[in-house]
Amino acid sequence: ALATLAASRDADVQGLYTYGSPRVGDLDFKNNFKERAYRFVNNNDLVAKVPPGKMYSHVGKLKYIDDQGSIYDSLERGERWTEEIQDQFKNIVNAIGQSANGFTEVLLQPVIDHVPIRYAIHIWNNIPQVGR
């Protein structure tokens, strides 16, 4: 988030790459953001889905990493993240009612998907094997 804000204020930015960044600005901020930007989102990374709602927007071209580690230029399922967050919270509530193990599993996956090493591994594994 801080990198996005800094890039919006510095006139000499050549590009911006973010990994698991939350939504930073409103629609005007997005429309006025002129920098070349790419935002990587790893699977169900919870941080990339907040804050929910339509008050905040992402900037930059999406690079979505699916649960198999493949990178796409968009979400195949469409950007249904608000629905997905609601579903995740319902799953958490249901898991609390069922067992501690289910709660841990449902709660941890979106957090695990935010861990920087997960981004690094998936991106590294998608670098073409040229000259190796």
Q: Which of 17-21, 24-28, 127-131 has the highest mean pLDDT?
A: 17-21
Which ranges constitute the DSSP H helices of the chain? 2-9, 27-32, 81-98, 100-112, 116-125
Hey, where are the domains in the chain?
2-125
Q: What's the mean pLDDT in 31-37?
A: 87
Cβ atoms < 10 Å from Cβ of 96: 13
Q: Do strands 37-42 and 16-19 pair parallel, antiparallel, or not at all (unpaired)? A: parallel
**18 pLDDT exceeds 50?**
yes
Supply the pLDDT for residue 96: 62
Q: What is the pLDDT of residues 66-82, one digit of tens each?
A: 989 999 987 755 455 55
Read off the amino acid at residue 113: D
